[in-house]
Amino acid sequence: MHGKDIKITGIRKDFGATNVLKSIDLHVRKGEFLTLLGPSGCGKSTLLRLIAGFDVPTSGSIEIGGRDVTRLAPKEREIAMVFQSYALYPHMTARRNMSVPLEMQRLSFAQRLPGAALVSGKIRQIRKEIAVDVERVCEQLGLASLLDRKPAQLSGGQRQRVAVGRALVREPSVFLMDEPLSNLDAKLRNQLREELADLQRRTGITFVFVTHDQKEAMALSDRIALMQGGQVVQCGTPDEIYRVPNHVSVARFVGSVAINEIPVAIRNEDLFAGPFALGLRAAGAPDGAYMLAIRAEALEPVPQSSDAVCLQLPVAHVEYSGSEVFVRCSGRDIGTEWIRFQVPVEQFAQLRAGGHLGDTVSLRLRAHGAHVFTLAGERMPAVLVNRYETNGLRHVLSV
């Protein structure tokens, strides 16, 4: 098996007077796992349907492997697709569900008629080849023991594996998946995520995966195309999307804990939240009003006597989550509703024991994990520096 690249140029899609996709340009590289990530209604499933050929764009073009497929039927595109609902034939066994696509592909209507194989050695040979191909895919997906069961006798995870197998057996160049794990419980989702990532690496097929779950996207993808309002607002590796968001909306969407947003003023390159100096400098940034977005892990609780103290905030809520503790503080004094940070359980216990984390907590802000945006949400090309650090460590905000 081998993958092919997908080139999407100027794709626009209207449904009547409603514009759903707004001139999208996107290049999916050969053999990569790319995820279309975004909230419900952002257009990600519509874009996937256009790639599959289930719908036609209002304008723009789609190429697969250098061939213009914009107006071609799905069967002419060398693609396979897996849906959220599995879409298995309930009256057929797993084996038959997986073999039917090959029978439709390799046998004519007359050759598929009951009894045709009894009078034709050629048909028998084709059916043997189909059986071999089904067995091969079943070995890859761990389905060999389930082949004679019908969908009602399979768990959700097993049904989804059969759906993947049915698509994979056709040896597509492009594999499209529309929220395929949404109906599964958390344990099964984690298991199938690993299996899909391994499958993509072994086969080299180009995967385009749609999800609203940023954890899923971060775990699976070579690259993520984050969509909002019918547009791709940023495309990059999971690390780039998380660490270098190009818009405040990207920073808000990605992350297991909501990113903290603090209205700040920059004066002589120093950052202030109200009357409080934050201990950060934005080298090269002009004076004015901005938005500081900072990850929960970039806020560090410190002893109140520390020279690095930048903020003292009232503690509103403490939540234990395994090895981490999540703390929510009131941010009224710095112009925002809440400030959230997280620390390892051991560090939290030490701070509590030392009397440094009670009704209030002292925090310093790390440049790594902090981002400055304009009030319109655009990323500021600046260098963010921690004043309290003496080793010269800097966090570059521009890429």
DSSP line for 104-135: HHHS-TGGGSTTHHHH-HHHHHHHHHHHHHHH
Picking from 243, 264, 284, the residue at the C-terminal end of a domain is: 243
- Residue 394 has a pLDDT of 37
Contact of 302 with 350, CB cutoff 8 Å: no
Computed over every residue of the chain, the mean pLDDT equals 88
In a domain, 91, yes or no: yes
| Statement to judge: residues 202 and 306 lie in one domain | no
Amino acid at 66: G
d(CA 151, CA 142): 16
- 372: number of Cβ within 10 Å: 22
The H or E element containing residue 216 is: helix 214-220
More confident residue, 364 or 395: 364
In the sheet with 67-68, reading across from the earlier edge strand, the strands are: 18-28, 6-15, 59-64, 67-68
> Lowest-pLDDT range, 36-50, 183-197, 269-283, 323-337?
183-197
Residue 29 CB coordination number (10 Å): 14
Q: Which residues, in sequence order, are CB contacts of 113 under 8 Å at separation 6+?
A: none
Quickly count: other Cβ atoms within 10 Å of residue 92's Cβ. 14
- Taking only the tens place, the pLDDT of each residue in 36-80 is 999 999 999 999 999 999 999 999 999 999 999 999 999 899 999
Residue 158 reports pLDDT greater than 80: yes
Single residue among 243, 272, 307 that ends a domain in this structure = 243
The larger pLDDT score, comparing residue 288 to residue 160, is at: 288
Q: Which residue has the tokens 């020279």?
A: 307
Q: What mean pLDDT is predicted for residues 84-107?
A: 86
**1 within some domain:** no
Closest listed residue to residue 340, CA positions, set 352, 350, 355, 326? 326
The rounded radius of gyration (Å) of the Cα atoms in the chain is 26
Residues 164 and 259 in one domain: no
90 falls within a domain: yes
In a domain, 169, yes or no: yes
User: Does one domain contain both 141 and 279?
Assistant: no
pLDDT for 113: 76
Q: Poorest-confidence range of 30-34, 112-116, 217-221, 269-273? A: 112-116
Provide the domain count of the chain: 2
In a domain, 228, yes or no: yes
- Contacts of 349 by beta carbon, 8 Å cutoff, 6+ apart: none
Whether residue 334 is contained in a domain is answered as: yes
The phi, psi pair for 376, rounded to 5°, reads -85, -5
Three-class secondary structure of residue 152 per DSSP: helix
| Predicted confidence (pLDDT) at residue 1 exceeds the cutoff of 50 | yes
Instruction: Report whether pLDDT(395) > 60.
Output: no
Same domain, 203 and 285: no
- Assigned domain for 65 exists: yes
pTM: 0.85
Looking at the fold, whether 255 and 384 belong to one and the same domain comes out as yes
Average pLDDT over residues 356-366: 83
pLDDT value, residue 389:
52
CATH number, domain of 184, equals 3.40.50.300
Contact status, residue 312 vs residue 362, Cβ threshold 8 Å:
yes
C-alpha to C-alpha distance for 92 and 94, rounded to whole angstroms: 7
Strand 231-236's sheet: what is its strand order?
79-82, 174-178, 206-211, 33-37, 223-228, 231-236
Q: Is the pLDDT of residue 396 over 50?
A: no
- Domain assignment present for 55: yes
Please provide the distance, in angstroms rounded to a whole number, between the alpha carbons at the two ends of the chain. 36
User: Please, which residues have CB within 8 angstroms of residue 152's CB and are 6 or more apart in sequence?
Assistant: 90
222 and 129 together in one domain: yes
Q: Is 278 in the same domain as 392? A: yes
Backbone angles phi, psi at 213, to 5 degrees: -95, 105
- What residue numbers bound the domain in which 51 lies? 6-243
Whether residue 329 sits in one domain with residue 220: no
The predicted pLDDT at position 307 comes to: 65
- Which of the two residues, 144 and 245, has the higher pLDDT score? 245
Do residue 213 and residue 278 come from a single domain? no
Name the domain boundary from 194, 228, 243.
243
Residues 191 and 327 in one domain: no
- Domain identity same for 267 and 379: yes
Encoded tokens for 356: 């440094």
- Using an 8 Å Cβ cutoff, are 221 and 209 in contact? yes
Q: Choose between 352 and 18: higher pLDDT.
A: 18
Angle (nearest 5°) at CA 338 between 335 and 339: 95
**280 plus 382 within the same structural domain:** yes
